A and B are shown apart, each in its own frame.
Chain A
Amino acid sequence: MTDLVDLLISGLVYGSIITVGAIGLTLMSDILDFFNFAYGDFFTLGAFTTLAFLSVVPGQGTFAGLSFGWSMVLAVLLAALVTVMVMLAFDYLFFRRLRNMGVSSLFMSIASLGVSFIIRSIIFMIWGPKVRYYSSEVQLSKEFLGISIRPDNLFILLSSLLLVAAVYYFLKSSRIGKALRSVSDNKALAQASGMQPSLMIMCTWIICGILAGVGGTLFGIQVQLNPNMGWNFLIPMFVAVIMGGIGSFWGALIGGMTIGITEELVTGLIQNLVTAMELQINVSAYKPAVAFIFVIVILLLRPYGLFGKPQFNLKR
């Protein structure tokens, strides 16, 4: 039973990070009209930029049982800002030109693959292939409301929740947020209602940049930092988006949490079984397989996802 609760909590934490990424990815796929394969590497950029700022901002040490201090909050804000600026720069130098040339979504996606290699190479050049950590503190679980959880994980869960709620409130209530939803709903009508496409695109990059900067850092807190972390994380993010339906906020939320919890539960329970059978197999290495199985089942049963629009039918 304790194992199951631990796995569930672990899944919730992992799922919350996937959700942060999936919301950015779904917004981008819907409004910018292409799958951005570089999004995972923007996650990595956010994580490493936070690492860089952590050593220069005040508030080092630890706080409230966390493995890091207040410096993390300041560092993550600066990292989000840098991620947004880098994203806008790539859009200005690269994607904007392709858009103006009328390049199709497919080629935009392939171009984003190129951008992902560029970002990853730069991260390799600056930080090298060595695995890094935000903190070398060993952290023990603590009891919160009768549940045993590591304070860092609680921080990840609450931060993700706060970020997702903030994005939801922004999209639901602000003028620009509503305008972005209207573009997502009906691009032609949005233009005819006065929405300026270039402004909407810029707003999308900014929101997605903030999500990548913060989400990357939260992922970095949970796992070790390495230049491939975001690229590998792209798979569960994409699966969450496809599962929820492209362009759906709630879809990304439910998709992200489902993938996170299922991956942890399935691999954890199989690992327990394998260990009981005294077999030497590391089942967690096969975690992405769970996401792939999800994609196959979803594409077969509901190609446009749980909450998606039929025009995003991936079968066509």
Chain B
Amino acid sequence: MSDILKVNNLVAGYGVQDVIFDVSATIGPGEIVAIIGPNGAGKSTLLKVIAGMLTPRNGNILLKGSPLNGCHPWQITSRGISWVPQDDNVFASMSVRDNLEMGAYLVRENTSERIEEVCDLFPQLKERMGQLAGSLSGGQRQMLAIARGLMTHPDLLLLDEPTAGLAPNLIYIMLEQIREITARLKSSVLLVTQTLDAVRLSDRGYLMSAGKIRYEDSTDKFLANQDVKELYFGGRVSSP
């Protein structure tokens, strides 16, 4: 099975400072891949580079075998990658419906059907179509952000900390929904997270620290790995 996304030896950063060094990763079709690591590890930067928001200094990114280097964010979106940032991930001054319509900006046709479709996944949004996104609660806002990202039916959804700031009961619901979406839309997901539950939801995991990939494996092995336990969870991981 060929990879949806392949990242080879990526180097990127801000100003003169490199933040990620020689990062390589792959994501298969329909796969959920988690990237975990401490703050400042370069996880969000990696997503930004893939989404085209940051230009890599070295390395290349291949989407279904074709290179993305040099593409603008809107071109990357049109080619099937959707990025949901951690902060400022909705158009706060616009209604929920307008947010979803803007998510489908490149698609143009069947917008209403797609809105219905994402509302099936996130029924809470259906009741709040006319409400300003800025007035939604944290969980609803996160749902809207993911729903907006799904409007193009992306091949790959990049989720930056989708459970950050959510109440523990909402985290589980959100992760279930992500799992359901992946299965229904056959999209792959690259998930940046610091939540153990999110890692358990994934098919594979990458451990990142200080801008480098330190470890990679299937979820079971990943969570059982002593280095991961020591490096990230402080040895407190129970079996999934």
Q: How far is the CA of A179 from the CA of B72 in the complex (A)?
A: 17
Segment of B17-25, B93-101, B191-199, B225-233 engaged in the interface with chain A: B93-101
| A185 nearest in chain B by CB position | B91
Establish whether residues B106 and A194, one from each chain, have CB atoms under 8 Å apart when the complex forms.
Answer: yes
> Within the complex, what minimum Cβ distance (angstroms) separates A134 from chain B?
39
Establish whether residues A196 and B72, one from each chain, have CB atoms under 8 Å apart when the complex forms.
Answer: yes
Residues of A within 8 A of B92 (CB): 185-186
Does A192 sit at the interface, judged by CB under 8 A? yes
Residues of B within 8 A of A186 (CB): 88, 90-92
Establish whether residues A192 and B83, one from each chain, have CB atoms under 8 Å apart when the complex forms.
Answer: yes
Does B118 sit at the interface, judged by CB under 8 A? no
Establish whether residues A194 and B152, one from each chain, have CB atoms under 8 Å apart when the complex forms.
Answer: yes
Does B164 sit at the interface, judged by CB under 8 A? no
Residues of A within 8 A of B106 (CB): 193-194
Does A188 sit at the interface, judged by CB under 8 A? yes
Residues of A within 8 A of B148 (CB): 193
Does A122 sit at the interface, judged by CB under 8 A? no
Q: How far is the CA of A190 from the CA of B89 in the complex (A)?
A: 10
B-side residues, CB < 8 A to A, are 51, 53, 72-74, 77-78, 82-83, 85, 88-94, 98, 101-103, 105-106, 108, 148, 152
Q: A175-B105, A178-B98, A188-B53 are in contact. Are A194 and B91 (CB under 8 A)?
A: no
Establish whether residues A185 and B105, one from each chain, have CB atoms under 8 Å apart when the complex forms.
Answer: no
Q: How far is the CA of A181 from the CA of B91 in the complex (A)?
A: 9
> Within the complex, what minimum Cβ distance (angstroms) separates B7 from chain A?
18
Residues of B within 8 A of A181 (CB): 91, 93-94, 98
7 residue pairs from A and B, CB less than 8 Å apart: A175-B101, A179-B102, A185-B91, A189-B91, A191-B73, A193-B148, A196-B72
Establish whether residues B74 and A185, one from each chain, have CB atoms under 8 Å apart when the complex forms.
Answer: no
Does A182 sit at the interface, judged by CB under 8 A? yes
| B93 nearest in chain A by CB position | A185
Establish whether residues A185 and B94, one from each chain, have CB atoms under 8 Å apart when the complex forms.
Answer: yes
| A199 nearest in chain B by CB position | B74
Establish whether residues A195 and B105, one from each chain, have CB atoms under 8 Å apart when the complex forms.
Answer: yes
Residues of B within 8 A of A189 (CB): 85, 88-91
| B97 nearest in chain A by CB position | A178
> Within the complex, what minimum Cβ distance (angstroms) separates B184 from chain A?
21
Establish whether residues A188 and B102, one from each chain, have CB atoms under 8 Å apart when the complex forms.
Answer: no
| B78 nearest in chain A by CB position | A194
Q: How far is the CA of A192 from the CA of B156 in the complex (A)?
A: 13
Q: How far is the CA of A197 from the CA of B51 in the complex (A)?
A: 15
Establish whether residues B152 and A182, one from each chain, have CB atoms under 8 Å apart when the complex forms.
Answer: no
A residues 187-233 near B (Cβ < 8 Å) are 188-197
Residues of B within 8 A of A191 (CB): 53, 72-74
Establish whether residues B102 and A192, one from each chain, have CB atoms under 8 Å apart when the complex forms.
Answer: no
Establish whether residues B102 and A178, one from each chain, have CB atoms under 8 Å apart when the complex forms.
Answer: yes
Additional 17 contacts, C-beta under 8 A, given A178-B98, A178-B101: A179-B105, A181-B91, A181-B93, A181-B98, A185-B91, A186-B90, A186-B91, A188-B88, A189-B90, A189-B91, A190-B102, A191-B53, A192-B51, A193-B77, A193-B148, A194-B152, A197-B74
Residue in A175, A189, A196 with the greatest tally of chain B CB atoms within 10 Å: A189
Residues of B within 8 A of A195 (CB): 74, 102, 105
Q: How far is the CA of A184 from the CA of B98 in the complex (A)?
A: 14
Q: How far is the CA of A188 from the CA of B77 in the complex (A)?
A: 13
Residues of A within 8 A of B93 (CB): 181, 184-185
Residues of B within 8 A of A184 (CB): 93
Residues of A within 8 A of B103 (CB): 193
Residues of B within 8 A of A178 (CB): 94, 98, 101-102
Q: How far is the CA of A194 from the CA of B148 in the complex (A)?
A: 12
Q: How far is the CA of A51 from the CA of B74 in the complex (A)?
A: 42
Q: How far is the CA of A181 from the CA of B148 in the complex (A)?
A: 16
Q: How far is the CA of A175 from the CA of B78 in the complex (A)?
A: 17
| B133 nearest in chain A by CB position | A185
| B145 nearest in chain A by CB position | A189
Q: How far is the CA of A178 from the CA of B51 in the complex (A)?
A: 22
Establish whether residues A193 and B89, one from each chain, have CB atoms under 8 Å apart when the complex forms.
Answer: no
> Within the complex, what minimum Cβ distance (angstroms) separates A266 from chain B?
33
Establish whether residues B77 and A194, one from each chain, have CB atoms under 8 Å apart when the complex forms.
Answer: yes
Q: How far is the CA of A182 from the CA of B91 in the complex (A)?
A: 6
Residues of A within 8 A of B83 (CB): 192
Establish whether residues A188 and B152, one from each chain, have CB atoms under 8 Å apart when the complex forms.
Answer: no
User: B85, B94, B98, B105: which contacts A194 (Cβ < 8 A)?
Assistant: B105
A-B pairs with lowest CB-CB distance, top 5: A194-B106, A191-B73, A185-B91, A194-B77, A194-B105
A residues 132-184 near B (Cβ < 8 Å) are 175, 178-179, 181-182, 184
Q: How far is the CA of A184 from the CA of B91 in the complex (A)?
A: 9
> Within the complex, what minimum Cβ distance (angstroms) separates B64 from chain A?
18
Q: How far is the CA of A182 from the CA of B101 in the complex (A)?
A: 11
| B103 nearest in chain A by CB position | A193
Q: How far is the CA of A193 from the CA of B91 in the complex (A)?
A: 11
Q: How far is the CA of A194 from the CA of B98 in the complex (A)?
A: 14
A residues 245-290 near B (Cβ < 8 Å) are none
Q: How far is the CA of A39 from the CA of B139 in the complex (A)?
A: 43
> Within the complex, what minimum Cβ distance (angstroms) separates B68 from chain A?
14
Q: A178-B94, A181-B94, A185-B94 are in contact. Are A193 and B88 (CB under 8 A)?
A: no
